[in-house]
Amino acid sequence: MDSLPSIVARSIIISGSATLIATAWSIPLAYHASTHRRLTPLVYAFEALVGIPTVLVGLLLYALLSRQGPLGWLGLLYTPQAIVIGEALLITPLLVAVSYRVLSEKSRELWELAATLGATSSQAARLVLSESLPGLTSSVIMGFSRAIGELGVALIVGGNIAGLTRTMTTSIALYTSMGEYDKAITLGLILLAITVTFSILARAVRREWE
């Protein structure tokens, strides 16, 4: 049986990795959408998917990664990597939607100003990204909080394997079903503390830069 510290550490590593991966493609996509109006419908689609059930993402990914699925040959099912991929896909709509709002607002404020001052497109882009950093940081923190608190993806494609894919949320479900409520409550409080801490951090970042 996993120790509580190892479960907490594994959850943070998996969700942190998923957040980094999702950030790597979400912010560039949001930036391009903020500067190319033809991509706006794509952002609306992402906004509609922000609240997608985690079990649905897990089910779709399971279908892809299972032995009968098109990606079954990768052997990723019931591995930490599968959870990372699933959580990255899960939080992508949130990251794109929030980052787009931040970037589009700053683009309207700064792009024309930079152009009138003789800045090149790349210089204007750097200015917009620099000024958007607090908002983008907040969106990344929100994405991490969403990832670490999800259950469906971790349970379906991770399998809740002790020492490998067991996370805080799957452990809470397991301990509750086993009647070990003290462990479930302890992990629940730790998870709550982590999400609240990151929520406060996101607000602090915004206030610091306002």
Burial class, 113, CB count within 10 angstroms (exposed 0-12 / middle 13-18 / buried 19+): exposed
DSSP 22-33: HHHHHHHHHHHH
pTM value is: 0.90
Q: Which pLDDT score, from 0 to 100, does residue 1 have?
A: 63
Q: Which pLDDT score, from 0 to 100, does residue 162 have?
A: 93
What mean pLDDT, rounded, does the chain reach?
Answer: 89
CA angle 203, 152, 43 (to 5 degrees): 55
Q: Which pLDDT score, from 0 to 100, does residue 209 have?
A: 57
State phi, psi for 156 to the nearest 5 degrees: -75, -50
> Residue ranges of the domains in the chain?
4-209
Tell me which fold the domain 4-209 belongs to: MetI-like fold (1.10.3720)
Which residue stretches of the chain have pLDDT < 50? none
Torsion of CA 141, 147, 149, 154, to 10 degrees: -160
Structure tokens at 47: 């906004």
CB 103 within 8 A of CB 30: yes
